[in-house]
Structure 1
């Protein structure tokens, strides 16, 4: 009670001071001390916007005022204006290069902008500042430890945090960081024990409870974890659970008017499971698959549960009906969340334009150096401008890559929706009188299905970015082809298919480097047969890996060339090879290269082996464009049939297997028949130049015909039905 009384008296005094200094700043606008005092008062009262406005007045009068610059950094971070915070920190540090506190704020701004590597480099430089005190060094190490956790460099993070704890023993934040490291390292008992005392510390209680919930969930103590999670979500509604449970997400990634994400014990259990899969740890996979329907029941109940996102489920060989049910549950929940907002927006849909052109809006957060943009960046400029107006709507800031610039320049208009609420974004789209809105994101990260649920355009269609159903009545169409979505699979899609000859657009002008790289340069044996799969490790699974090992056993001396996504995956894959009787040295791992050189190195391999459940998509196009033959198993789901679609469009159906045994026989026979494989390579190179998948302009014409078909159906008031081009 005494504390509350003191707070009330303090606030009353601040209000009096506020009135006094507002009056003084009004009558004496050049009085820098009045503006400075106003900024401090507003800051203490919690009005960051007003505090920032006052600080701006100080800087207008004295641009190099260090206190004002520092205050501006703090307020910008509080308002999530991270780019402004970074710019101001740079301005401050130009005046005082070794200011530790501002340098740490700069590191935080970089982290929030997703520039984790730069943030780590900046933190390393801070450690070289002479005469650092123990407290300062501990703060720098704490920031570095948090960054290493975000970067999933957990062993380094733990070492860094323990070094900081030696300087600042029992520090609550550092103790939490250590507990998170132990969680990631599966040292659950230690994590639980370390946060017991923190629950009683008000400033650390939230983080400690998060650690407890995560550890208990992974230990399958679901009831205990759910009690903690319920309390967290009720008592800390102003706090985002993403900070602890999904630290890789960027601040502001989840908007205030988004469908709230539910955290449940089974969801956290599955989140941990998918992290294992990304590291090719398949030890728990069979057990999870045996009870998957029970585990995802929360998603069907709540609609949107962390760890049960529809995109994650695409990597599992689950029943299509269950995949559809989870997607539909999220779509229904999104639509319900947006319904009252939509009714208040009163968006008016456009009629046909006066010049007869259709306005097409493409929406994506991947207009950048991303696999989707690698495929589609040329498409936008190839649309027929006599019949179409093309607008790009970006969900994320640009990355200044060639892909970003090509897309921006290829659109008639390019509009960033970054920072807008879902309602504001929908209104912004509607203002452009878009006839057909194309969702290139689906349920992948940074997606905003809420915008589509507000229906800013009369026709909405999914394309390229998500190889599954969205389960949403507000997106009634999906661009597909007869291979990825045959008639027999249509029951598992809420959308009506719009059939192209091949659904995946490609860039027919991709540059392949000519550096003269050799197998020796890439650590490959000169005379061995090189099997290859550059799919990311999250797509690899034990069934396809076991098949690859059986193939290698029949091709003596052969090697398998894989992408080195993370050190844990490398270790686990080598161990898996041993379990199949294959020398782990026959697995060779490749790091990342610039795209043109990446394409060049495909020419060092002999045969690409596709994964079974979630196959190669952009990776398949890259391999084929580079002239590398590939074989695939035609799966039972969209995401497992993209290679088959590409090979069918190129007239190379003999490289498509229908059963695993056929896949293995085909791989071994090609490895043993170099003349046959060379003939296929020559066919492939010729057909890539002539086949539809790699004729981007012709693809654009096909896509445009579907746009007119969808628009005519809407104008004729016809219920959406399948469209064939």
Structure 2
């Protein structure tokens, strides 16, 4: 696997002139860019030995430690660097990343704000600040920041993270432009592997690349499907894990279900691509996309002849190296097709699988959950960045219309909960009507849905895994489907459960429906009984059926690329 020319030149340069501080710093950058964190760490360390305490060397070493998951060390090094050069926006930005992952969310926001103050016109930094303010439910200047980011995307001037952009109230066409700009930046820096071909006969070899193979939403959604695919035996299943073994039961089940689980967590991008190619993968599924912690550079090298965007990233990849997106006819209707760079393939069921082997633990009492003894419990266990002003205005209006009700939320980072309580007070509500649940192990969290009466979804970024969790645990989900993939996922689940009244046409209908159900215990009980029935008699949670449909779809893709089914005809 040849290295890119710039890295080769820099490696030669430091061999010829081991005292060249600048060359070591540049080499550290090039190694980290290529995903070789060990080599990047080494180069930054050498630079620091040449000039102890130099901010540029401290910053590179901090960035290397951050990429290695050594977040506390990274934050310390980058803080030292930022204190030495407080007017350096790039170091402030990296410090923000490190503090974010080191569990110091409010300090991370301060670092992003400092970077933005220094470079107010830089869309990437604006987008980072905007995204982090959303996570902290800090809605100051949200609209102007959002407008600036959307405008930069429209002008093609931005490299904005497409995942963060999903939280903006942008159209599917804007999301495509954002993803294309990000993909173009990656493609420029990489060379594709020589073309490979799908095997002509025999079992198709299917690869899945993800950083979520463990106790993570992706692992939770896919594990039962992989078990059913293994039982069906028509495909060879290769999981390429970008995350190390987390020791979870889910990871062990994934390992057992796959033909092979390849731990590629410590490998640079080119080595991962080479391993996928050497394994002879025919169809490769990207189970991360732009979701952060993924490896788009690996897919950009074209390690497999057919590459598919599915499940983890709710939008288009905008990438020339992704051939297909796998969806369903509700979440990605014909009207959305032009906003996707991929060819659209649709399953005859909801595109999202889930773990139908989960057994609900007994629900703890209301008091143990911090809930009042009486009153309707509305819930929304979505991540804090989805709880934007529009979604909370809607939820507050529901609380106004249902006396004695409470809204049960997932506790957010930093001071997010306090900010939401302040927003409730401004809306004329007693802030005590917001109840916060700490992050809990999955089975414990899942059991708590049994104490919730109705899930109030968010817009434009829906509940995805959380909607699936709620429905599996018997809690109905009220949503307001929009005109983007990310705003139609909960709607797709309701549609395939044959619960169309849970898909509200607009905010007014959403609020009216929630209030009507909240004030009518019998209607609410009837809805829950219908959900319990639909859960077993529709195909939404039928993973054996999903495995058959998924296999047929993969084989159809294979046939389009020259594979011949020995059993056909």
The verdict on how the C-alpha distance between 1:584 and 1:462 changes in structure 2, with shifts beyond 3 A counting, is: same
Unmatched runs of 5 consecutive residues or more in structure 1: 1-14, 16-40, 48-74, 81-107, 120-142, 150-172, 178-203, 215-228, 230-239, 252-262, 718-725
Cα distance between partner residues in 2 of 1:542 and 1:675: 31
Q: Is the 8 A contact 1:564 1:591 kept in 2?
A: yes
Q: Does 1:333 align with 2:179?
A: no
Task: State the Cα distance separating 1:473 from its structure 2 match.
Answer: 1.9
Larger Rg: 1
Q: Which residue of 2 aligns with 1:286?
A: 143
Task: State the Cα distance separating 1:293 from its structure 2 match.
Answer: 3.4
Q: Is the 8 A contact 2:136 2:413 kept in 1?
A: yes
Q: Which residue of 2 aligns with 1:601?
A: 448
Cα distance between partner residues in 2 of 1:566 and 1:653: 34
Q: Which residue of 2 aligns with 1:35?
A: none
Q: Which residue of 1 aligns with 2:30?
A: none
Task: State the Cα distance separating 1:689 from its structure 2 match.
Answer: 2.3
The verdict on how the C-alpha distance between 1:660 and 1:209 changes in structure 2, with shifts beyond 3 A counting, is: farther
Cα distance between partner residues in 2 of 1:464 and 1:437: 13
Cα distance between partner residues in 2 of 1:676 and 1:555: 14
Task: State the Cα distance separating 1:242 from its structure 2 match.
Answer: 6.3
Cα distance between partner residues in 2 of 1:78 and 1:472: 30
Q: Which residue of 2 aligns with 1:152?
A: none
Trace 1:63-74 onto structure 2 (pairs within 5 A).
none
Q: Is the 8 A contact 1:349 1:456 kept in 2?
A: no
Q: Is the 8 A contact 1:280 1:569 kept in 2?
A: yes
- Which secondary structure does the structure 1 equivalent of 2:86 belong to? helix
Q: Is the 8 A contact 1:242 1:249 kept in 2?
A: no
Cα distance between partner residues in 2 of 1:712 and 1:659: 42
Q: Does 1:674 align with 2:521?
A: yes
Trace 1:297-696 onto structure 2 (pairs within 5 A).
300-301=156-157, 305=159, 308-339=160-191, 342=192, 345-346=193-194, 348-353=196-201, 356-383=202-229, 386-500=233-347, 501-514=349-362, 516-696=363-543
Q: Deviations over 1:28-87 (max 9, x none)?
A: xxxxxxxxxxxxx9xxxx99xxxxxxxxxxxxxxxxxxxxxxxxxxx999559xxxxxxx
Counting helix residues as a fraction of each chain, which structure ranks higher? 1
Q: TM (normalized to structure 2)? A: 0.81
- Which secondary structure does the structure 2 equivalent of 1:488 belong to? helix
Q: Does 1:247 align with 2:95?
A: no
The verdict on how the C-alpha distance between 1:553 and 1:696 changes in structure 2, with shifts beyond 3 A counting, is: same
- Which secondary structure does the structure 1 equivalent of 2:87 belong to? helix
Q: CA RMSD in A?
A: 3.2
Higher relative contact order (CA 8 A, sep 6+): 2
Trace 1:198-213 onto structure 2 (pairs within 5 A).
207-208=82-83, 211-213=86-88
Task: State the Cα distance separating 1:707 from its structure 2 match.
Answer: 0.5
Q: Deviations over 1:242-279 (max 9, x none)?
A: 6424215889xxxxxxxxxxx97332233122211111
Cα distance between partner residues in 1 of 2:536 and 2:494: 14
Q: Is the 8 A contact 2:213 2:251 kept in 1?
A: yes
- Which secondary structure does the structure 2 equivalent of 1:428 belong to? helix
Q: Which residue of 1 aligns with 2:35?
A: none
Cα distance between partner residues in 2 of 1:301 and 1:642: 30
- Which secondary structure does the structure 1 equivalent of 2:199 belong to? coil
- Which secondary structure does the structure 1 equivalent of 2:378 belong to? strand
Task: State the Cα distance separating 1:348 from its structure 2 match.
Answer: 3.5
Task: State the Cα distance separating 1:606 from its structure 2 match.
Answer: 0.9
The verdict on how the C-alpha distance between 1:210 and 1:504 changes in structure 2, with shifts beyond 3 A counting, is: farther
Task: State the Cα distance separating 1:616 from its structure 2 match.
Answer: 0.3
The verdict on how the C-alpha distance between 1:210 and 1:291 changes in structure 2, with shifts beyond 3 A counting, is: same
- Which secondary structure does the structure 2 equivalent of 1:596 belong to? helix
Q: Is the 8 A contact 2:126 2:149 kept in 1?
A: no
Cα distance between partner residues in 2 of 1:78 and 1:710: 42
Q: TM (normalized to structure 1)? A: 0.64
The verdict on how the C-alpha distance between 1:623 and 1:210 changes in structure 2, with shifts beyond 3 A counting, is: farther
Q: Deviations over 1:195-243 (max 9, x none)?
A: xxxxxxxxx6x535763244xxxxxxxxxxxxxx6xxxxxxxxxx8864
Q: Does 1:265 align with 2:122?
A: yes
Task: State the Cα distance separating 1:699 from its structure 2 match.
Answer: 0.8
- Number of residues paired by the alignment? 498
Task: State the Cα distance separating 1:649 from its structure 2 match.
Answer: 0.7
The verdict on how the C-alpha distance between 1:700 and 1:517 changes in structure 2, with shifts beyond 3 A counting, is: same
Trace 1:20-31 onto structure 2 (pairs within 5 A).
none
